[in-house]
Amino acid sequence: MSIHPIDPRSVDVAAFAKQGGDESGSCALVLLDRLCDEAHADAKPTAAEQMQWRATGESRPKRGAEAEVWLHLEGQARLALVCQRCLQPVEAALQARRSFQFVAGEEQAAAIDADSEDDVLALSRTLDLIGLVEDELLLALPLVPRHEACPQPLKVRDDGDLFEERVHPFAALGDLKRKLPSS
C-alpha cells in the first residue's frame, strides 16, 4: 500500500514509482463505456459488477542516468460477450497483466519502443489508471467468444450443415401477389 492513497483517474506515475507505490481497488463496469460496448445487448453489466485492478510503481536505478520509471498493472473483470455460434450471452473472464516503462517524451518512447520488447509510454503529468486498465482488458477480449457447448441446439439442415432461417427478401411481394384478385 502506498504511503498516500492515489486517485486512480489522475496518477502522478513518476512520484508513484519513486515511492514504490502499491495500490489496488475496483471500479464499476458500467463506468467503463468502451468495455461495456463489447457486452451482449441482453446482458449489459449492472452497477454491482466490478473491475478489479492493482498498480505497483517501481523506480529502477540506472548507472550514470536517472532511474527508470515502471508501472506494473493488473486487471480482472467478468463480461457477458456474444457467442459467435449461437449469438447468446457467454460469460468471459478477462485478465490483463502488463508492465510499462515511462520515459521523458513521445520521441524517446517511440525510439525505445521500437527496440524493446517492453511497453514504453511517454511520461505525462497525470495518468488515468482506470482508462489504462480498461485498454488492457479490451486487448484481453477473446477473438472468437463462444460456449463450450451452446445452451440451445443449433438448427441443422438435412445435409448436416448449420444454417440460419432467413426470410427471402421478395417473400412479402409473393404473398401480396397471391392475395390480389386475379383479373
Q: With helix as H, strand as E and coil as C, how does the chain read?
A: CCCCCCCCCCECHHHHHHCCCEEEEEEEHHHCHHHHCCCCCCCCCCCCCEEEEEEEEEEEEECCEEEEEEEEEEEEEEEEEECCCCCCEEEEEEEEEEEEEEECCHHHHHHHHHHCCCEEEECCCCECHHHHHHHHHHHCCCCCCCCCCCCCCCCECCCCCECCCCCCCCHHHHHHHHHCCCC
The whole model's pTM is what?
A: 0.76
Domain boundary assignment for the chain: 13-149
Neighbouring C-beta atoms of residue 77, cutoff 10 Å: 24
Contacts for 11 with CB less than 8 Å, ≥ 6 apart? 55, 126, 127, 128, 129
What string of pLDDT tens digits covers the 183 residues of the chain? 445 678 999 999 999 999 999 999 999 999 999 999 999 999 999 999 999 999 999 999 988 888 899 999 999 999 999 999 899 999 999 999 999 999 887 777 777 777 777 788 888 889 999 999 999 999 999 999 999 988 877 666 566 555 555 666 777 777 777 777 765
